[in-house]
Amino acid sequence: MLAVLASFLHSSIVQGIPLLFGATGEILTEKSGHLNLGIPGIMYVGGISGIVGGYLYEHFCERPVALLCILIPLVCSLLGSGLMALIYCFLTVTLRANQNVTGLALTTFGTGIGNFLGGSLLSFFGESGSISLLTIGKWYKAYPVFADKLGVFGEIFCSYGFLAYLAVIVALLVHYFLNKTRAGLNLRSVGENPATADAAGINVTRYKYWSTVIGGMIAGLGGLYFVMDYTGGTWTNNGFGDRGWLAIAIVIFALWKPARAIWCSFVFGGLYICAVLIPGLSSAAKEVIKMAPYLVTIVVLVLSSVHNRRENQPPASLGLNYFREDR
């Protein structure tokens, strides 16, 4: 029984990590007042950039080194998702375009890039088959050897690749940044009321740019984790599925608090996977269970608006662009 529970917790956490990256990135972005619906696309790009970087390295290098195996995809992923976030940011912050429309376009674009490169990368180099970067995947999946000796404890806490721990650390760091630092306070004020923040001498544009781009990079890591660790360095078109939207759902479920997002992601990961793990379920029942994360999100969304507690609300200017000369 304990072993079953441990393996369930393990799978929930594995499923939850990409969601956690996405949710943390989206929370940081939304705190600046920008609802980035491009996150699903950004996560695709984060994944495929890592794959492309890793593939080129494996392709052109005789003896891949462990450190570079990890660093090159990581940097490529950060660059790719950062660029995507920059497109969003330029359009919505500088050109003041509608955030929903821009975000949806970014998701179309990003999913297209991911699937296109994933489907055609090998044919550019005259190879056929599907991408599999097993060496790199192995390094991303590597966990300390002692984990196996620790039994259940090891399985639940120590058996993940380094990106999983990074996800939790990043979420905690963002929590600390938002709640305990001056810059975090400024960022929150930009999201609540940019005009007041502007009057107080805060550079609204700079805060919006940084939070969106860094938020996008964090979300992109979720895509990287998925392709490198979860699938072990392989790419399947649309394999990432709707996890990007689920990450946006978690932002609501976690009430815009990154530290809460940690356990919320794991709960969602559990809901996502339990349909597969519970034996003897009919396929219809499995599909009903998969509905749960979305229903739970709706309930939380409704309850938080009905109770109308101040600390549980979305940033007040979420979705609205700021133009100084507006009245």
Name the DSSP class of 148. Answer: G
305 binds other proteins (CB under 8 A): yes
CB of 274 to other proteins, least distance (A): 14
49 lines the binding site for other proteins (CB under 8 A): no
Cα four-point dihedral sign 306, 267, 229, 288: negative
Question: Under a CB-based contact definition with an 8 Å cutoff, are residues 52 and 121 in contact?
Answer: yes
Does residue 308 bind other proteins (CB under 8 A)? yes
CB half-sphere exposure, 50, CA atoms < 13 A? 33
- Interaction between residue 326 and other proteins (CB under 8 A): yes
Cβ distance to other proteins smaller for residue 161 or 194: 194
Decide if residue 237 touches other proteins (CB under 8 A): yes
The smaller minimum CB distance to other proteins, of residues 64 and 119, is found at: 119
Q: Which of 65, 66, 71, 295 binds other proteins (CB under 8 A)?
A: 295
From 18-26, 91-99, 151-159, 164-172, span contacting other proteins (CB under 8 A): 91-99
Minimum distance, C-beta of residue 325 to other proteins, in the bound complex (Å) = 6
Nearest to 244 by CA among 99, 82, 86, 107: 107
Secondary structure (3-state) at 128: coil
82, 158 contact by CB (below 8 A): no
Interaction between residue 36 and other proteins (CB under 8 A): no
- Closer residue to other proteins in complex, CB, 184/215: 215
Shortest approach of other proteins to residue 258 CB, angstroms? 18
Question: Is the Cα torsion angle 30, 32, 34, 37 positive or negative in sign?
Answer: negative
Q: Tell me how crowded residue 237 is: count the other CB atoms within 10 A of its CB.
A: 12
d(CA 311, CA 239): 36
Q: Which is nearer to other proteins, 62 or 308 (CB)?
A: 308
Q: Is 281 in the site for other proteins (CB under 8 A)?
A: no
| Contact with other proteins (CB under 8 A) among 81, 265, 297, 317 | 297
Range in contact with other proteins (rule: CB under 8 A) among 66-74, 145-153, 163-171, 292-300: 292-300
Q: Which stretch binds other proteins (CB under 8 A): 58-66, 180-188, 216-224, 242-250?
A: 242-250
Residue 314 found at the interface with other proteins (CB under 8 A): yes
Name the DSSP class of 234.
Answer: B
238 φ, ψ (degrees, to nearest 5): 60, 15
The Cα-based distances of 73 to 134, 221, 224, 228, 242 in angstroms read 13, 10, 8, 9, 23
**Residue 286 lies near other proteins (rule: CB under 8 A):** yes
Q: Of these, 14, 70, 74, 105, which contacts other proteins (CB under 8 A)?
A: 105
203 binds other proteins (CB under 8 A): no
Query: Other CB atoms closer than 10 Å to residue 163's CB: what's the count?
Result: 23
How far, in Å, are 14, 173, 222, 269 from residue 20 at the CA level?
10, 13, 7, 9
Positions in the binding site for other proteins (CB under 8 A): 35, 37, 87, 91, 94-98, 100-102, 104-116, 118-120, 123, 237, 242, 245, 248-249, 252, 282-284, 286-288, 290-291, 294-295, 297-298, 301-302, 305-306, 308, 314, 318-319, 323, 325-326
